[in-house]
């Protein structure tokens, strides 16, 4: 099978070098106009290049940090700490440091990391009997330190294709019970990036677990613009943004965004996916867990997750920040 034409890392660097000044002067630029790609009418693909507003790892952030909000950056000398832990079901025993100071797991069959705001966290209020109605009324599922609006970032180098739905960034969420029964605290949103082929164009999608069953975004799977094959591409970054737009008990709204950095420099970000979840969007199941039909997770939770299956994946520059929900435009 012939390999699909792809937007390479070199192409991306050339594009940034050609148009970099425009990006710095006008941080929000329609992608089709910037690089002449075939973007369908009404496309909202946006590029931001930011040389300031960066974290200690040198990676730019898109949304401002919430004052006194939760902020975590991975320690590159020793990734695990009181907040960052090996996720349940993982097959790896240890992490191995690479020559470029990135990390890899010694077994990639199932790799999962949990990032907990409270190191002592175990379960949501009510556990598997968590009430969606009560959680929305309180605004949180565990305690007042829960994450609500959050920017989760990770960088990956996929040497061999992953399986299932690629690389998952998840949350805010709670403990996932491995048993096969209804467990209401398992509600979450997933940001999934396909890295499953060295031949076929990579895609992205959002899913909602509500609970015990995954529901794909009604908008479906979306091909990444620009056209790219991530397995074998080299370093790339993913930002998953979760924002609660409305906590109105009668009309809750949550916005999800995915941004990607294809050059691996952490500075230039392209929005590749976005959705606003409302009950009228009809995403998920009928009423369960004392919630409404197609319930929206407009509440905070104490955990974020990184996860992938198989492949050969290096990672670095993981971070999580609680944010103010206004995109920085200068």
- Residue 20 structure tokens: 């970099």
The predicted structure's pLDDT at residue 7: 54
Query: What's the CA gap between 290 and 294, in Å, rounded?
Result: 12
Mean pLDDT, the chain, integer: 88
Average confidence (pLDDT) over 11-23: 45
Residue-wise over 77-116: b if at least 16 C-beta within 10 A, else e?
eebeeebbbbbeebebeebeeeeeebbbbeebebbbbbbb
pLDDT-derived band at 119, boundaries 50, 70, 90? very high
Proportion of the chain above pLDDT 70, given as a percent:
85
The predicted structure's pLDDT at residue 11: 58
Model confidence pLDDT, tens digit, residues 94-117 = 999 999 999 999 999 999 999 999
- Residue 224 structure tokens: 């990444």
Model confidence pLDDT, tens digit, residues 38-85 = 323 335 678 999 888 899 999 999 999 999 999 999 999 999 999 999
Q: Which residues fall within 8 angstroms of residue 17, CB to CB, at 6 or more apart?
A: none
Would you identify the CATH topology of the domain 52-261+269-322?
Jelly Rolls (2.60.120)
Average confidence (pLDDT) over 170-196: 91
Query: What's the CA gap between 269 and 51, in Å, rounded?
Result: 11
Domain ranges of the chain: 52-261+269-322
The predicted structure's pLDDT at residue 52: 84
Global pTM value: 0.88
pLDDT of residue 279 exceeding 70, the answer is yes
């Amino acid at each position: 099978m012939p390999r699909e034409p792809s937007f390479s890392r070199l192409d991306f660097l050339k594009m940034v070098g050609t148009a970099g000044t425009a990006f710095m002067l006008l941080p929000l630029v329609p992608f089709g106009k910037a690089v002449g790609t075939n973007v369908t009418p009404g496309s909202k693909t946006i590029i931001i290049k930011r040389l300031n507003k960066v974290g200690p790892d040198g990676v730019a952030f898109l949304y401002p940090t919430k004052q006194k909000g939760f902020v975590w950056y991975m320690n590159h000398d020793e990734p695990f700490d009181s907040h960052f832990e090996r996720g349940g079901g993982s097959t790896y025993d240890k992490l191995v440091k690479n020559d470029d100071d990135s990390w890899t797991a010694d077994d990639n069959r199932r790799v999962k990391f949990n990032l907990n705001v409270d190191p002592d966290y175990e379960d949501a209020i009510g556990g598997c009997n968590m009430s969606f109605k009560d959680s929305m009324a309180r605004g949180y599922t565990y305690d007042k330190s829960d994450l609500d609006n959050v920017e989760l970032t990770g960088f990956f180098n996929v040497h061999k294709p992953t399986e299932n739905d690629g690389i998952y960034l998840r949350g805010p969420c709670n403990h996932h019970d491995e048993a096969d029964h209804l467990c209401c605290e398992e509600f979450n949103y997933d940001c999934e990036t396909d890295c499953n082929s060295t031949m076929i164009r990579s895609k992205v999608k959002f899913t909602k677990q509500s609970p015990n069953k995954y529901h794909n975004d009604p908008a479906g799977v979306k091909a990444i613009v620009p056209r790219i094959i991530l397995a074998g591409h080299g370093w790339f970054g993913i930002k998953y943004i979760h924002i609660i737009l409305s906590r109105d008990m009668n009309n809750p709204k949550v916005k999800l965004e995915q941004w990607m950095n294809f050059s691996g420099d952490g500075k230039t970000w392209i929005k590749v996916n976005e959705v606003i979840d409302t009950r009228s969007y009809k995403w998920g199941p009928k009423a369960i867990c004392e919630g409404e039909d197609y319930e929206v997770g407009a509440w905070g939770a104490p955990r974020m997750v990184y996860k992938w299956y198989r492949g050969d994946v290096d990672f670095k520059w993981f971070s999580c920040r609680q944010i103010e929900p206004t995109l920085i435009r200068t």
